[in-house]
Amino acid sequence: MNIGKRNEKNEDDLELIKKRKLCGIIEGCDSIENYEHLNKIHEGVYGIVFRARDKITGQIYAIKKVKM
């Protein structure tokens, strides 16, 4: 078993979590500052959807900006 590798991965995950900025309004939500805006995907009645890259992990996400 690779228990040592599993523990190393958990430690790396904890370091990434510590680097994240959190939203001050909603507990447990990431701040938009954690993402790099790439392009606009679509705009609808309720909001605009953007493609964004996570600055820490490099993964690509779709983020919706809700119109108020």
What pLDDT, on a 0 to 100 scale, did the predictor assign at position 2? 47
Sheet holding 35-43, edge to edge: 35-43, 47-54, 60-66
CATH architecture of the domain 3-66 equals 2-Layer Sandwich (3.30)
What is the chain's mean pLDDT, rounded? 77
What pLDDT, on a 0 to 100 scale, did the predictor assign at position 32? 83
Nearest residue to 60 via CA among 45, 50, 47: 50
User: What does the domain layout of the chain look like in residue ranges?
Assistant: 3-66
What is the tens place of the pLDDT at every residue in 25-55? 666 677 888 899 999 999 999 999 999 998 8
